[in-house]
Structure formats: structure tokens, C-alpha cells
């Protein structure tokens, strides 16, 4: 069993060792071992040139990372929370995402932007937003969103090796959660291909599609519903852009029902995109009921715990949505 934190640390360690062009930068990533201890031990091992503490200036250090990537270094840029990436969104979108296209492919920008995304616990509206829909909206970026330790390690390694800018949206509440990790996943060659979803549980009655922490909620809901004779197929998206819509379509053809689950807001969200893509494709003909979205509440996140809990999708909300879809 390996925690998500240790899986990310393993991935960074292996990639720093494998390729001398890889370096880390961000607030407190070096001497303090990282705000979330993701980079624990790496500064001591690799030194000041490879693990760099930056001032509290997101636009500044993100610009440094993008510029370094343009001259074929491979920076991994940590945001203490993705909410702070709004300070640097001009660099992420205008400098990183658009450069390869605008240079007709002659300038690659192999940079990874990573850090915690979405709601944590009791940190207020300015630290609780999910950016999957924001960054998933922009061509030129790849966007990944891991759930398990295997996802975290494999996707981070794949992101560092990719020649495109990649946004990696982690979840702070998952950092300390241990997951089973196969021997294969613990090898230095292990990567999770970007753009491929994973079926976490096979089922025949309804398809549940999710990413990041809500994947765990979907599996819990599926376990409860299984006792009532309802078999849910749970798909872990892993990648927001490019999205593996083929796997979702194949599952909908099998189950004839679709429920999407996400922690972000409903309007223009990841679930909205999935529902639209299914409606536009041939899988629409197999739906026996309208697709249903389970999302965060359409409000800035309240600070009080009981209100926060009511703003985020819970297991009971997923069960309710499945029963509504199946009309039971």
C-alpha cells in the first residue's frame, strides 16, 4: 500500500534521476520539503539547481518555467493550490498552451503544472475551486486528474515525459490516502498513458463517470447499490483533455444509463461536456433515460463544514441520482 503523496514523490524522484533536464520549482518545494511534503527529500538529494524555492509570485515563477521549457528543459511547476494559478493563467494559457500551435510546431513547451485542485476541508471559497473545466476548455493543454496512487505516479511520469504543457490536478484530501499499488506500478518504467480512462468496477445497469476524489464516492455508492441488485459500472476518467469518450460510449451502449459525478460547478462543467458528447454520438440511441449530472453546488464554497458538505457530491447524492435514472 502506497499513499498518493508517496506515489507522487516516487515519480518525481525517478524522473529527476532519469533525465537531468527535469527540475522542480515552486513555493517551499526545496528546503521545507514541499507544502504537502510531495517533494520530501528531493532538495537534499538533487540540490539547489534541480529543486528551486521561488518567491510568492505565481506569474513570475510560472513564466520562468514556461521559458525554461521553450529551451528544452522539463520544469515541474508546483502551485500551492490551483486557485493561485489564476495569478499565472496568462502564462499557462497564452505562453504555454498556444506557443506550439502558433509556432507551427517548432517550439514545444514540455512543462508540467501540478498541485492540489478542488475542495479541501474548511479552506473557504478562494481555496476550494475545481479547475478541470477551466483548463480542460483550452486547446494546447493536456489535463490529467488522478484518483489513486497508481494514477498519480503513472500520470505524473507521463506528463513529465510529454512534449506538451500538462496541467495535473491533484486532490489535497487524497494525499494521505493509501492505495494498493501493483509491482508493475512501482517499477521505474511505469506510466499511465494520457487520454485513457480506466474502468474501476464492471457493471451492467448504469455507467458512473467521474474523476479525482469523487471516483471513490462512486465506488462506495456502487457497493451500496450492489446490495440492492443494481450493478454500476464506474469509470475513472484519469484525463480531462483529451477525454476518452470512446470508453464512456462503449459503457453506455452496455448499460443504457449515464450518471456523471464531479466536485466542480455544474455550468459548462466536465459532466456537461460528457453529456453533450454522448448526445452527439451514436451511444445516444442506446440511452433509456436522460443522462444525469451530480456536481458541486452552484455557489462559492461556504466556510462552515456542514454547508461545505452540502455543497459537495456525497455518496447519498450519487445513490439518489442512480435511482432517479433507473426509476426505482
Residues belonging to the active site: 58, 127
Distance CA 42, CA 33 (A): 7
In the chain, at which residue ranges do the beta strands (DSSP E only) sit? 2-3, 22-26, 51-53, 74-78, 112-116, 142-144, 166-170, 178-179, 198-201, 206-210, 232-236, 239-241, 258-261, 292-294
Coil, helix or strand at residue 186? coil
Q: Please name which of 34, 87, 86, 88 lies closest in space to residue 65, comparing C-alpha atoms.
A: 88
The strand pairing partners of 257, in sequence order, are none
Distances, alpha carbon 138 to alpha carbons 29, 132, 167, 217, in Å: 27, 10, 11, 28
Distance CA 24, CA 42 (A): 9
The three three-digit cell numbers of residue 179, written as one number: 492505495
Distances, alpha carbon 226 to alpha carbons 21, 23, 268, 320, in Å: 49, 46, 31, 14
Amino acid at each position: 500500500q502506497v499513499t498518493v503523496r508517496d506515489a507522487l514523490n516516487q515519480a518525481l524522484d525517478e524522473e529527476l534521476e532519469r533525465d537531468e533536464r527535469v527540475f522542480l520549482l515552486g513555493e517551499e518545494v526545496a528546503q521545507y520539503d514541499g507544502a504537502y511534503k510531495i517533494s520530501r527529500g528531493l532538495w537534499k538529494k538533487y540540490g539547489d539547481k534541480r529543486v528551486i524555492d521561488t518567491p510568492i509570485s505565481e506569474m513570475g515563477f510560472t513564466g520562468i518555467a514556461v521559458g525554461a521549457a521553450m529551451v528544452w528543459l522539463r520544469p515541474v511547476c508546483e502551485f500551492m493550490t490551483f486557485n493561485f494559478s489564476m495569478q499565472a493563467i496568462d502564462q499557462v494559457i497564452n505562453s504555454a498552451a498556444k506557443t506550439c500551435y502558433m509556432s507551427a510546431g517548432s517550439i514545444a513547451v514540455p512543462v508540467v503544472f501540478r498541485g492540489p485542485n478542488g475542495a479541501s476541508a474548511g479552506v473557504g471559497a478562494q481555496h476550494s475551486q475545481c479547475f478541470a473545466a477551466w483548463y480542460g476548455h483550452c486547446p494546447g493543454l493536456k489535463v490529467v486528474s488522478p484518483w489513486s496512487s497508481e494514477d498519480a505516479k503513472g500520470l505524473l511520469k507521463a506528463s513529465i515525459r510529454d512534449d506538451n504543457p500538462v496541467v495535473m490536478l491533484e486532490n489535497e484530501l487524497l494525499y494521505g490516502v493509501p492505495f494498493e499499488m501493483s509491482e508493475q506500478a512501482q517499477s521505474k518504467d511505469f506510466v499511465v498513458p494520457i487520454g485513457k480512462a480506466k474502468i474501476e468496477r464492471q457493471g451492467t445497469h448504469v455507467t458512473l463517470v467521474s474523476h479525482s476524489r469523487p471516483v471513490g464516492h462512486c465506488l462506495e455508492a456502487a457497493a451500496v447499490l450492489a446490495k440492492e441488485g443494481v450493478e454500476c459500472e464506474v469509470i475513472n476518467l484519469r484525463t480531462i483533455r483529451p477525454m476518452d469518450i470512446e470508453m464512456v460510449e462503449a459503457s453506455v451502449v452496455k448499460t443504457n444509463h449515464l450518471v456523471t459525478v464531479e466536485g466542480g460547478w455544474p455550468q459548462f462543467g466536465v459532466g456537461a461536456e460528457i453529456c453533450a458528447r454522448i448526445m452527439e454520438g451514436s451511444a445516444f440511441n442506446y440511452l433509456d433515460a436522460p443522462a444525469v449530472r451530480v456536481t458541486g453546488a452552484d455557489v462559492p464554497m461556504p466556510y462552515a463544514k456542514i454547508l461545505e458538505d452540502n455543497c459537495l457530491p456525497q455518496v447519498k447524492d450519487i445513490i439518489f441520482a442512480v435511482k432517479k435514472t433507473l426509476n426505482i
